[in-house]
Amino acid sequence: MKLVEEYKSTKRKHSEYFKKYSPMERVKHSKEIIKLKTEIDKIESRIINGILSLVFDYNKIYNELIKHELHHFLKGNTAINRFVINQKITVGLEYNENHRDEIISEFKDLCVKAWEDLIITNKERKELDDFCRENKIDKTQQYIIEQEISRKYTDGIDLDKVIKDYYVKENQSEEEIQKILKKEYKKHVEVERIKNVLVELDTDIISEIDWLDSEKSKLIKTIHYETNFAIYLIVINGQISNGYEFDIGFSPGTEKSLKVMISNETFINADRTRLIDIISDAVCYSVCSKDMNLSNFLALKLNVRQHINRIY
């Protein structure tokens, strides 16, 4: 595939600078290195959007990239991971989705407000995720809508990811990152906004290390639903506050996995049958489209519950 070949070639050129030159020597070639990194980001964005819009076949792209150890940007992308999970869980199932134009329009307005200054904060991310969860907009559609809006401001490139990459991998300062964004990406981002992203990055790293702290939560069971797709049943101290008996989450950088969290009280009072019901509801909820009606949900749950019951 032409785009994949272009990506491989660009990554190869970029890597050569790190193989041939020491850190001090690379300073002389910083202009060329940054230009190649910019091109890599653009190609990754095109590949991800092509997969989500079904223009590109995920398996063909992934299999070609993994041969050259170039697949990591797909594994680290939440929307791609949800896309793969949804395909795996809903295989063989058919259900119709009805569009809710008013809710989608409202969500687009929220996206515009979030991306007007080019950078999306953790608070803004939580507001968007909460809106989608409350209105049952599935993860894949959420990503596509967000890309549609953000592309107007960022040309489809995830500036948060770019900032974090230059900070973690290139050891660039906030001011240096600002210069790169302005020169190479043609985007002016305030240094204070860049600092906020990096503060959030540090917080996320610390939080992710402690996500299974024995004093806060406990991993009860791992269910291998399908090849490379795991469901983690986690009991937490405290209450689930979303109105359901469960909450769901996804481990950053972990491909094809779903965390199902329940309270300690629910776990103590539930037998095997009830736990299987809760897990099945959570799995169906995670792939539930914005307008899936009760009959469609139950049809999906019937298949999912039977499978979980066999492997629990």
State the residue range of the domain holding 295.
Answer: 217-311
Rounded Cα distance between 176 and 156, Å, is 22
Q: Is residue 41 part of a domain?
A: yes
Q: Are 215 and 238 in contact (CB under 8 A)?
A: no
Q: Is residue 180 part of a domain?
A: no
Domain C-terminal end among 38, 55, 75: 75
Which of these, 300, 268, 309, lies nearest to 281 by C-alpha position? 300
Q: Are 280 and 304 in contact (CB under 8 A)?
A: yes
Rounded Cα distance between 125 and 201, Å, is 13
Rounded Cα distance between 2 and 304, Å, is 38
Q: Are 79 and 52 in contact (CB under 8 A)?
A: yes
How many domains in the chain? 2
Q: Is residue 1 part of a domain?
A: yes
Q: Is residue 163 part of a domain?
A: no
Q: Is residue 190 part of a domain?
A: no
How many residues comprise the chain? Answer: 312
Q: Is residue 278 part of a domain?
A: yes
pTM score, two decimals? 0.42
Whole-angstrom CA distances from 14 to 46, 79, 274, 294 are 18, 26, 53, 51
pLDDT values of the chain reduced to their tens digit, one per residue, 312 residues = 788 899 999 999 988 888 888 888 888 888 898 999 999 999 999 999 999 888 888 889 999 999 888 888 898 888 888 888 877 776 544 444 444 678 888 999 998 888 777 777 778 888 999 998 888 787 777 888 887 887 777 666 777 788 877 776 666 788 888 888 887 777 788 888 888 877 776 555 434 434 444 456 777 787 877 766 778 888 887 788 777 888 887 655 555 678 888 988 899 999 999 999 999 988 888 776 555 566 777 778 888 888 888 888
Query: Structure tokens of 308?
Result: 């979980």
